[in-house]
Chains A and B, each alone.
Chain A
Amino acid sequence: MTSGARTLASPATARWLTLALGFVLGGGSMLVGLAQAGRLAAARPEALVALAQMVEVEHRRVDLLLERGDEAGAIAALEALRRQPWPAREDGGDIGEQLRHDVYGRLVRLRLDFPDIDPVGDDALLQIIDQGLSGSYREVETNPFTARLVALRGEALEGRGRDDEALGAYEEALGMNRALLDRELLDRELGEAP
Protein backbone atom coordinates (compact mmCIF):
# COMPACT_ATOMS: atom_id res chain seq x y z
CA MET A 1 0.00 0.00 0.00
CA THR A 2 2.67 2.39 1.04
CA SER A 3 4.80 1.35 -1.85
CA GLY A 4 1.85 1.85 -4.23
CA ALA A 5 1.16 5.33 -2.86
CA ARG A 6 4.82 6.21 -3.33
CA THR A 7 4.63 4.93 -6.85
CA LEU A 8 1.54 7.07 -7.52
CA ALA A 9 3.04 10.21 -5.95
CA SER A 10 6.41 9.97 -7.62
CA PRO A 11 5.42 11.01 -11.16
CA ALA A 12 3.65 14.15 -9.94
CA THR A 13 6.51 15.10 -7.65
CA ALA A 14 8.99 14.44 -10.38
CA ARG A 15 6.96 16.58 -12.72
CA TRP A 16 6.94 19.50 -10.29
CA LEU A 17 10.61 19.09 -9.58
CA THR A 18 11.39 19.09 -13.28
CA LEU A 19 9.29 22.21 -13.75
CA ALA A 20 11.01 23.98 -10.88
CA LEU A 21 14.42 23.00 -12.18
CA GLY A 22 13.46 24.33 -15.58
CA PHE A 23 12.44 27.65 -14.04
CA VAL A 24 15.69 27.88 -12.08
CA LEU A 25 17.84 27.02 -15.07
CA GLY A 26 15.92 29.34 -17.34
CA GLY A 27 16.11 32.21 -14.90
CA GLY A 28 19.80 31.61 -14.34
CA SER A 29 20.48 31.49 -18.05
CA MET A 30 18.54 34.69 -18.52
CA LEU A 31 20.57 36.46 -15.81
CA VAL A 32 23.85 35.21 -17.23
CA GLY A 33 22.75 36.27 -20.70
CA LEU A 34 21.82 39.74 -19.48
CA ALA A 35 25.14 40.06 -17.68
CA GLN A 36 27.05 38.99 -20.76
CA ALA A 37 25.02 41.16 -23.15
CA GLY A 38 27.34 43.20 -25.34
CA ARG A 39 30.35 41.46 -23.84
CA LEU A 40 32.67 39.35 -25.93
CA ALA A 41 33.03 35.97 -24.23
CA ALA A 42 36.41 34.30 -23.94
CA ALA A 43 37.03 31.81 -26.75
CA ARG A 44 39.68 30.17 -24.60
CA PRO A 45 38.33 30.07 -21.05
CA GLU A 46 41.46 28.35 -19.77
CA ALA A 47 43.55 31.31 -20.95
CA LEU A 48 41.25 33.72 -19.13
CA VAL A 49 41.27 31.66 -15.95
CA ALA A 50 45.06 31.39 -15.94
CA LEU A 51 45.41 35.11 -16.61
CA ALA A 52 42.94 36.04 -13.88
CA GLN A 53 44.75 33.88 -11.32
CA MET A 54 48.12 35.37 -12.19
CA VAL A 55 46.80 38.92 -12.08
CA GLU A 56 45.06 38.34 -8.75
CA VAL A 57 48.24 36.98 -7.16
CA GLU A 58 50.31 39.89 -8.47
CA HIS A 59 47.77 42.44 -7.26
CA ARG A 60 48.02 40.98 -3.77
CA ARG A 61 51.80 41.08 -3.92
CA VAL A 62 51.69 44.73 -4.98
CA ASP A 63 49.28 45.46 -2.11
CA LEU A 64 51.79 44.01 0.35
CA LEU A 65 54.69 45.91 -1.20
CA LEU A 66 52.80 49.19 -0.99
CA GLU A 67 51.80 48.50 2.61
CA ARG A 68 55.52 48.19 3.37
CA GLY A 69 56.23 51.42 1.53
CA ASP A 70 58.17 49.66 -1.20
CA GLU A 71 56.87 51.62 -4.18
CA ALA A 72 59.89 50.68 -6.27
CA GLY A 73 59.15 46.99 -5.72
CA ALA A 74 55.50 47.52 -6.60
CA ILE A 75 56.40 49.28 -9.82
CA ALA A 76 58.91 46.55 -10.69
CA ALA A 77 56.31 43.82 -10.05
CA LEU A 78 53.72 45.55 -12.23
CA GLU A 79 56.32 46.18 -14.95
CA ALA A 80 57.15 42.47 -14.96
CA LEU A 81 53.46 41.63 -15.17
CA ARG A 82 52.99 44.13 -17.98
CA ARG A 83 55.70 42.45 -20.02
CA GLN A 84 53.97 39.07 -19.81
CA PRO A 85 52.26 37.95 -23.02
CA TRP A 86 48.60 38.93 -22.86
CA PRO A 87 45.91 36.91 -24.61
CA ALA A 88 44.24 38.48 -27.62
CA ARG A 89 40.75 39.86 -27.13
CA GLU A 90 39.25 36.94 -29.05
CA ASP A 91 40.92 34.47 -26.69
CA GLY A 92 40.45 36.23 -23.35
CA GLY A 93 37.29 38.14 -24.22
CA ASP A 94 36.37 41.50 -22.74
CA ILE A 95 37.25 40.29 -19.26
CA GLY A 96 40.81 39.67 -20.39
CA GLU A 97 40.95 43.23 -21.72
CA GLN A 98 39.64 44.58 -18.43
CA LEU A 99 42.29 42.66 -16.51
CA ARG A 100 45.00 44.17 -18.70
CA HIS A 101 43.60 47.69 -18.33
CA ASP A 102 43.51 47.21 -14.57
CA VAL A 103 47.19 46.21 -14.41
CA TYR A 104 48.31 49.00 -16.72
CA GLY A 105 46.19 51.53 -14.85
CA ARG A 106 47.70 50.61 -11.52
CA LEU A 107 51.22 50.77 -12.95
CA VAL A 108 50.67 54.17 -14.60
CA ARG A 109 49.07 55.54 -11.42
CA LEU A 110 52.18 54.59 -9.46
CA ARG A 111 54.47 56.00 -12.13
CA LEU A 112 52.61 59.33 -12.07
CA ASP A 113 52.58 59.44 -8.26
CA PHE A 114 56.25 58.46 -7.90
CA PRO A 115 58.01 59.92 -10.95
CA ASP A 116 61.44 59.71 -9.32
CA ILE A 117 61.35 55.92 -8.99
CA ASP A 118 62.84 54.20 -12.02
CA PRO A 119 61.83 57.24 -14.08
CA VAL A 120 60.51 56.98 -17.60
CA GLY A 121 59.96 59.85 -19.99
CA ASP A 122 56.56 61.29 -20.78
CA ASP A 123 56.67 59.83 -24.26
CA ALA A 124 57.53 56.38 -22.93
CA LEU A 125 54.68 56.62 -20.42
CA LEU A 126 52.26 57.53 -23.19
CA GLN A 127 53.50 54.56 -25.20
CA ILE A 128 52.87 52.27 -22.22
CA ILE A 129 49.32 53.61 -21.88
CA ASP A 130 48.61 53.25 -25.58
CA GLN A 131 50.00 49.72 -25.48
CA GLY A 132 47.63 48.93 -22.63
CA LEU A 133 44.63 50.39 -24.39
CA SER A 134 45.72 48.73 -27.65
CA GLY A 135 43.57 50.94 -29.83
CA SER A 136 40.44 48.81 -29.60
CA TYR A 137 39.45 49.78 -26.09
CA ARG A 138 36.26 51.48 -27.31
CA GLU A 139 34.95 48.11 -28.47
CA VAL A 140 35.30 46.67 -24.97
CA GLU A 141 32.22 46.79 -22.80
CA THR A 142 32.30 49.96 -20.68
CA ASN A 143 34.08 49.29 -17.40
CA PRO A 144 35.90 51.28 -14.71
CA PHE A 145 39.37 49.89 -15.52
CA THR A 146 39.32 51.12 -19.11
CA ALA A 147 37.87 54.46 -17.97
CA ARG A 148 40.70 54.84 -15.47
CA LEU A 149 43.38 54.10 -18.05
CA VAL A 150 41.82 56.65 -20.42
CA ALA A 151 41.79 59.21 -17.58
CA LEU A 152 45.45 58.47 -16.85
CA ARG A 153 46.19 59.02 -20.50
CA GLY A 154 44.67 62.47 -20.01
CA GLU A 155 46.99 63.11 -17.08
CA ALA A 156 50.03 62.05 -19.09
CA LEU A 157 48.98 64.23 -22.01
CA GLU A 158 48.45 67.17 -19.69
CA GLY A 159 51.96 66.64 -18.36
CA ARG A 160 53.22 66.91 -21.93
CA GLY A 161 51.32 70.18 -22.39
CA ARG A 162 48.91 68.63 -24.91
CA ASP A 163 45.94 70.14 -23.14
CA ASP A 164 43.35 69.76 -25.87
CA GLU A 165 44.00 66.03 -26.17
CA ALA A 166 44.06 65.73 -22.38
CA LEU A 167 40.67 67.41 -22.16
CA GLY A 168 39.30 64.97 -24.74
CA ALA A 169 40.61 62.00 -22.73
CA TYR A 170 39.12 63.35 -19.50
CA GLU A 171 35.75 63.87 -21.15
CA GLU A 172 35.82 60.35 -22.57
CA ALA A 173 36.62 58.87 -19.16
CA LEU A 174 33.93 60.96 -17.50
CA GLY A 175 31.42 59.75 -20.10
CA MET A 176 32.34 56.12 -19.39
CA ASN A 177 31.97 56.60 -15.65
CA ARG A 178 28.66 58.38 -16.13
CA ALA A 179 27.36 55.41 -18.11
CA LEU A 180 28.59 53.03 -15.42
CA LEU A 181 26.95 55.03 -12.65
CA ASP A 182 23.67 55.15 -14.59
CA ARG A 183 23.84 51.38 -15.03
CA GLU A 184 24.58 50.93 -11.34
CA LEU A 185 21.60 53.07 -10.37
CA LEU A 186 19.36 51.16 -12.77
CA ASP A 187 20.50 47.84 -11.32
CA ARG A 188 19.75 49.08 -7.81
CA GLU A 189 16.30 50.29 -8.81
CA LEU A 190 15.53 46.95 -10.46
CA GLY A 191 16.86 45.12 -7.42
CA GLU A 192 14.71 47.15 -5.03
CA ALA A 193 11.57 46.87 -7.17
CA PRO A 194 8.97 44.43 -5.71
Chain B
Amino acid sequence: MKRFYVLLALVAAAGGGAMWYSSHRKPAPPPAAARVVAATDGFRGYPLGVESAPVEVTEYSDFECPFCASFATVQMPVIREQLIAPGKLRWRYRDFPLPTHRYSRYAALAAQCAGEQGKFWEMHDQLFEHHQWAQTGKNPRSLFQDFARAVGLDLDKYDACMDGQRYAGRIEASVQEGEAAGVRGTPSFYVNGRPFERSTSDDFKALVDSLTKKHK
Protein backbone atom coordinates (compact mmCIF):
# COMPACT_ATOMS: atom_id res chain seq x y z
CA MET B 1 0.00 0.00 0.00
CA LYS B 2 2.85 2.36 0.78
CA ARG B 3 4.16 1.96 -2.75
CA PHE B 4 0.75 2.93 -4.09
CA TYR B 5 0.82 6.22 -2.18
CA VAL B 6 4.32 6.87 -3.48
CA LEU B 7 3.00 6.28 -7.00
CA LEU B 8 0.16 8.76 -6.37
CA ALA B 9 2.64 11.34 -5.09
CA LEU B 10 4.87 10.86 -8.16
CA VAL B 11 1.92 11.23 -10.58
CA ALA B 12 0.72 14.35 -8.74
CA ALA B 13 4.21 15.86 -8.74
CA ALA B 14 4.77 15.11 -12.44
CA GLY B 15 1.39 16.56 -13.43
CA GLY B 16 1.76 19.59 -11.20
CA GLY B 17 5.26 20.23 -12.53
CA ALA B 18 4.12 20.01 -16.14
CA MET B 19 1.35 22.53 -15.45
CA TRP B 20 3.73 24.88 -13.65
CA TYR B 21 6.08 24.70 -16.63
CA SER B 22 3.20 25.39 -19.01
CA SER B 23 2.04 28.39 -17.03
CA HIS B 24 5.52 29.94 -17.19
CA ARG B 25 6.03 29.36 -20.91
CA LYS B 26 5.44 32.49 -22.91
CA PRO B 27 3.55 31.79 -26.15
CA ALA B 28 5.04 33.19 -29.32
CA PRO B 29 3.45 36.54 -30.15
CA PRO B 30 1.65 36.93 -33.45
CA PRO B 31 3.70 38.62 -36.16
CA ALA B 32 4.00 42.36 -35.70
CA ALA B 33 2.14 44.45 -38.20
CA ALA B 34 4.10 47.67 -37.85
CA ARG B 35 5.20 49.75 -40.87
CA VAL B 36 2.95 48.11 -43.39
CA VAL B 37 2.65 49.73 -46.79
CA ALA B 38 -0.93 50.00 -48.02
CA ALA B 39 -1.66 47.70 -50.94
CA THR B 40 -2.69 49.20 -54.25
CA ASP B 41 -4.41 46.13 -55.66
CA GLY B 42 -7.78 47.88 -55.76
CA PHE B 43 -9.36 45.38 -53.37
CA ARG B 44 -12.66 46.79 -52.12
CA GLY B 45 -13.56 44.31 -49.39
CA TYR B 46 -15.40 41.02 -49.45
CA PRO B 47 -18.97 41.32 -50.75
CA LEU B 48 -22.02 39.32 -49.77
CA GLY B 49 -25.10 39.21 -51.96
CA VAL B 50 -25.86 39.63 -55.61
CA GLU B 51 -24.28 42.38 -57.65
CA SER B 52 -27.68 43.50 -58.97
CA ALA B 53 -28.97 44.38 -55.49
CA PRO B 54 -30.33 47.96 -55.51
CA VAL B 55 -28.57 48.98 -52.29
CA GLU B 56 -25.02 48.39 -51.16
CA VAL B 57 -23.81 48.85 -47.59
CA THR B 58 -20.14 49.03 -46.73
CA GLU B 59 -19.30 48.02 -43.20
CA TYR B 60 -16.02 49.00 -41.55
CA SER B 61 -15.45 46.53 -38.78
CA ASP B 62 -12.91 45.20 -36.32
CA PHE B 63 -12.88 41.52 -35.38
CA GLU B 64 -11.84 42.25 -31.80
CA CYS B 65 -14.52 44.88 -31.21
CA PRO B 66 -17.37 43.65 -28.98
CA PHE B 67 -19.98 45.85 -30.69
CA CYS B 68 -18.96 44.41 -34.05
CA ALA B 69 -19.32 40.89 -32.65
CA SER B 70 -22.72 41.72 -31.26
CA PHE B 71 -23.78 43.20 -34.60
CA ALA B 72 -22.41 40.21 -36.52
CA THR B 73 -24.12 37.62 -34.34
CA VAL B 74 -27.43 39.35 -33.53
CA GLN B 75 -28.29 41.75 -36.37
CA MET B 76 -26.39 40.32 -39.31
CA PRO B 77 -28.17 36.94 -39.46
CA VAL B 78 -31.50 38.76 -39.85
CA ILE B 79 -30.03 41.11 -42.45
CA ARG B 80 -28.61 38.16 -44.37
CA GLU B 81 -31.87 36.27 -44.30
CA GLN B 82 -34.30 39.10 -44.97
CA LEU B 83 -32.32 41.50 -47.14
CA ILE B 84 -29.20 39.94 -48.62
CA ALA B 85 -30.55 36.49 -49.53
CA PRO B 86 -33.61 37.88 -51.40
CA GLY B 87 -31.30 40.16 -53.40
CA LYS B 88 -32.46 43.44 -51.89
CA LEU B 89 -29.11 44.36 -50.40
CA ARG B 90 -25.44 43.78 -51.07
CA TRP B 91 -23.01 43.93 -48.18
CA ARG B 92 -19.32 44.77 -48.30
CA TYR B 93 -16.99 44.09 -45.40
CA ARG B 94 -13.97 46.35 -44.92
CA ASP B 95 -11.32 45.96 -42.27
CA PHE B 96 -10.84 48.71 -39.76
CA PRO B 97 -8.75 47.17 -36.96
CA LEU B 98 -8.54 49.69 -34.15
CA PRO B 99 -5.03 50.38 -32.81
CA THR B 100 -6.21 49.80 -29.23
CA HIS B 101 -6.96 46.16 -30.00
CA ARG B 102 -3.97 43.87 -29.75
CA TYR B 103 -5.05 41.07 -32.06
CA SER B 104 -7.55 42.69 -34.38
CA ARG B 105 -5.08 43.07 -37.28
CA TYR B 106 -4.07 39.47 -36.77
CA ALA B 107 -7.73 38.42 -36.90
CA ALA B 108 -8.26 40.51 -40.02
CA LEU B 109 -5.28 38.76 -41.55
CA ALA B 110 -6.80 35.37 -40.67
CA ALA B 111 -10.03 36.34 -42.42
CA GLN B 112 -8.13 37.58 -45.48
CA CYS B 113 -6.10 34.37 -45.61
CA ALA B 114 -9.35 32.41 -45.44
CA GLY B 115 -10.72 34.66 -48.18
CA GLU B 116 -7.78 33.63 -50.36
CA GLN B 117 -9.24 30.12 -50.22
CA GLY B 118 -12.80 31.33 -50.79
CA LYS B 119 -13.84 31.13 -47.14
CA PHE B 120 -13.80 34.74 -45.95
CA TRP B 121 -17.35 34.79 -44.63
CA GLU B 122 -16.97 31.41 -42.95
CA MET B 123 -13.91 32.70 -41.09
CA HIS B 124 -15.70 35.99 -40.38
CA ASP B 125 -18.45 33.98 -38.68
CA GLN B 126 -15.98 31.87 -36.69
CA LEU B 127 -14.14 34.95 -35.43
CA PHE B 128 -17.32 36.64 -34.29
CA GLU B 129 -19.25 33.62 -33.05
CA HIS B 130 -16.37 32.42 -30.85
CA HIS B 131 -15.59 35.91 -29.70
CA GLN B 132 -14.31 34.84 -26.31
CA TRP B 133 -10.77 34.96 -27.76
CA ALA B 134 -11.06 38.74 -27.84
CA GLN B 135 -11.67 38.97 -24.11
CA THR B 136 -8.96 36.67 -22.85
CA GLY B 137 -5.93 38.56 -24.16
CA LYS B 138 -4.32 35.23 -25.06
CA ASN B 139 -2.36 34.71 -28.23
CA PRO B 140 -5.07 33.45 -30.63
CA ARG B 141 -2.70 31.87 -33.17
CA SER B 142 -3.60 28.25 -32.48
CA LEU B 143 -7.29 29.07 -31.97
CA PHE B 144 -7.40 30.75 -35.38
CA GLN B 145 -5.77 27.62 -36.82
CA ASP B 146 -8.63 25.68 -35.24
CA PHE B 147 -11.08 28.05 -36.95
CA ALA B 148 -9.22 27.54 -40.22
CA ARG B 149 -9.51 23.79 -39.79
CA ALA B 150 -13.20 24.09 -38.87
CA VAL B 151 -14.06 25.98 -42.05
CA GLY B 152 -12.12 23.52 -44.17
CA LEU B 153 -9.06 25.54 -45.15
CA ASP B 154 -5.86 24.01 -46.42
CA LEU B 155 -3.85 24.61 -43.26
CA ASP B 156 -0.44 24.70 -44.94
CA LYS B 157 -1.59 27.42 -47.30
CA TYR B 158 -3.29 29.27 -44.45
CA ASP B 159 -0.14 29.14 -42.28
CA ALA B 160 2.03 30.33 -45.16
CA CYS B 161 -0.35 33.21 -45.77
CA MET B 162 -0.42 34.17 -42.08
CA ASP B 163 3.32 33.86 -41.53
CA GLY B 164 4.04 35.94 -44.60
CA GLN B 165 1.36 38.50 -43.61
CA ARG B 166 0.29 38.32 -47.23
CA TYR B 167 -2.64 40.69 -46.91
CA ALA B 168 -1.32 43.14 -44.32
CA GLY B 169 -1.04 45.80 -47.03
CA ARG B 170 -4.64 45.23 -48.06
CA ILE B 171 -5.79 45.70 -44.46
CA GLU B 172 -3.75 48.89 -44.16
CA ALA B 173 -5.29 50.20 -47.38
CA SER B 174 -8.73 49.48 -45.96
CA VAL B 175 -7.87 51.38 -42.77
CA GLN B 176 -6.62 54.36 -44.76
CA GLU B 177 -9.74 54.39 -46.92
CA GLY B 178 -11.87 54.17 -43.79
CA GLU B 179 -10.06 57.09 -42.21
CA ALA B 180 -10.48 59.11 -45.38
CA ALA B 181 -14.20 58.31 -45.33
CA GLY B 182 -14.42 59.51 -41.72
CA VAL B 183 -14.59 56.24 -39.81
CA ARG B 184 -13.95 56.87 -36.13
CA GLY B 185 -15.26 53.73 -34.49
CA THR B 186 -16.53 50.30 -35.36
CA PRO B 187 -18.81 49.11 -36.72
CA SER B 188 -19.38 52.01 -39.16
CA PHE B 189 -21.72 51.78 -42.11
CA TYR B 190 -21.80 53.63 -45.41
CA VAL B 191 -24.54 53.61 -48.00
CA ASN B 192 -23.44 54.87 -51.40
CA GLY B 193 -20.51 56.63 -49.73
CA ARG B 194 -22.63 58.38 -47.12
CA PRO B 195 -22.46 57.43 -43.46
CA PHE B 196 -25.41 55.54 -42.03
CA GLU B 197 -25.55 56.03 -38.31
CA ARG B 198 -27.95 53.26 -37.32
CA SER B 199 -27.16 49.61 -36.76
CA THR B 200 -30.14 47.35 -36.22
CA SER B 201 -31.67 45.01 -38.77
CA ASP B 202 -34.87 47.05 -38.63
CA ASP B 203 -32.90 50.18 -39.53
CA PHE B 204 -31.43 48.44 -42.54
CA LYS B 205 -34.84 47.12 -43.57
CA ALA B 206 -36.25 50.64 -43.40
CA LEU B 207 -33.28 51.95 -45.37
CA VAL B 208 -33.67 49.37 -48.13
CA ASP B 209 -37.43 49.98 -48.30
CA SER B 210 -37.01 53.74 -48.59
CA LEU B 211 -34.25 53.54 -51.22
CA THR B 212 -36.08 50.90 -53.22
CA LYS B 213 -39.23 53.02 -53.26
CA LYS B 214 -37.25 56.03 -54.49
CA HIS B 215 -35.88 53.99 -57.38
CA LYS B 216 -39.34 52.76 -58.44
Answer whether A and B are interacting partners. no
Give residues in A with beta carbon < 8 Å to B: none
